[in-house]
Amino acid sequence: MLPKQGAIAVFVKTPGYSPLKTRLAQSVGTVQAEQFHILSANAVAAVVHSVANQKSVTPFWAVAEPEAQQDSLWNQFKTMGQGAGGLGNRLAYVQQQLFEFSQFVIFLGADTPHLPVTLLNEAVEILSVESATPQFVIGPACDGGFYLFGSQIALDPAVWLNVPYSVEDTTRALREQIQDLGEIHLLPELSDVDTVQELPLVARQLTEGDDWLTEQLQVLEWIQEWEARSD
């Protein structure tokens, strides 16, 4: 039996078009926050690229600004717009677009540069298997949100709109919305970087093990240089 064909969308904003990492910027400055965002997005892209070389998935950048879809920052993958409205509207829009030609869809944020290739591989493997019951995969973030969401079915837009975002119970609310629709698989919890407090947590994980990608180690180097300047 052939594996299901999937799509992975990495959600990004583009420096110069939108304010980004605003809470991180309050501590490290706008220029540094933009540097981190670009390095972090590149690290996530490297993880996705590694998995796409092994699995039946097509990667996309889901770009917040329509006019920035052709920006050179996003030339590694195909690009698509996020649509308009709040995060719930945009998640629903991107998922609907990708399910027109994919059998499963995975969402990733660009602020978890320490996402292991093994975790993304695990999510893809779960969603690639034919199942009588729809399968979901959630990567919960330490702040209550999620760094990864994968599904074998397109959720009703109302599901996305009923979830509160950027709060400590975002993942819990999402799980409640979908618990009767299929089987939920939880990945290990990771920190995503919204504030300066998460930087040491990311650096600590990236110093453990020896199988990190070059782009992920570049994030570690950036954090270590920032910590040295801050001492």
The first and second tokens of residue 27, run together, are 């501590």
Nearest Cα to 188, choosing from 135, 147, 128? 147
Say what the pLDDT of residue 230 is: 77
Say what the pLDDT of residue 1 is: 54
Distance of alpha carbon 8 from alpha carbon 166, whole angstroms: 22
Say what the pLDDT of residue 2 is: 58
**CB-CB neighbours of 75 under 10 Å:** 10
Q: Which CATH superfamily is domain 6-230 in?
A: Spore Coat Polysaccharide Biosynthesis Protein SpsA; Chain A (3.90.550.10)
Distance of alpha carbon 77 from alpha carbon 42, whole angstroms: 11
**CB-CB neighbours of 98 under 10 Å:** 22
Each residue's pLDDT tens digit in the chain (231 positions)? 556 799 999 999 999 998 888 899 998 999 999 999 999 999 999 999 999 999 999 999 999 999 999 999 999 999 999 999 999 999 999 999 999 999 999 999 999 999 999 999 999 999 999 889 999 999 999 999 999 999 999 999 999 999 999 899 999 999 999 999 999 999 999 999 989 999 999 999 999 877 999 999 999 999 999 888 876
CB 20 within 8 A of CB 30: no
